[in-house]
Amino acid sequence: MRRRVLPLVAAALAVPAALVTTSAAHAAPADKAAVLSSWTQNSASSYNAWVAARNNQSAWSAYGFDWSTDYCSSSPDNPFGFPFQTACARHDFGYRNHKAMGTFDAGKARLDSAFYADLKRVCAGYSGAQEVSCNSTAWIYYQAVDKLGSVAPSGVAAG
């Protein structure tokens, strides 16, 4: 009788263990918040790390990040020829993923500040009147997301 009970007990214990393993495999990695934070900072290194990850999204699929973007929403993606599209995409990434994690309110100011830093890096590639015009446009874009970004419905990032 003891020989028959042991296999049944072992099988019964294996089922919950398999369920835990399966559930853990589908859960986002524990460092998701840290990775998200590292990709949404003001620094050029944060921006560059995000661009590299965006170009290799499949390597980050376990994290379940939302990579969707409408770029600069209803504003031009490249106003006056200034290429703001990628900065807008990173801003969308930050908004969408922080909203999904419930950390948007705490992170909004930093996300908007990082957006402005990205735009200023674009403008740094110009000189003279073009740089001044680019920086003025960047300021307008920043002010729009700073003042209106949080009023966008969830899943839509104003930026």
Cα(80)–Cα(109) distance, integer angstroms: 26
Residue holding tokens 């948007």?
A: 104
- Token readout for 8 is 């049944």
In 23-138, where do the E strands start and end?
none
Given the residues 91, 98, 99, 108, select the one marked as catalytic.
91
Q: What is the CA radius of gyration of the chain?
A: 22
Residue 74 phi/psi, 5° resolution?
Answer: -90, 0
Active site residue 98: no
Active site residues per annotation? 91
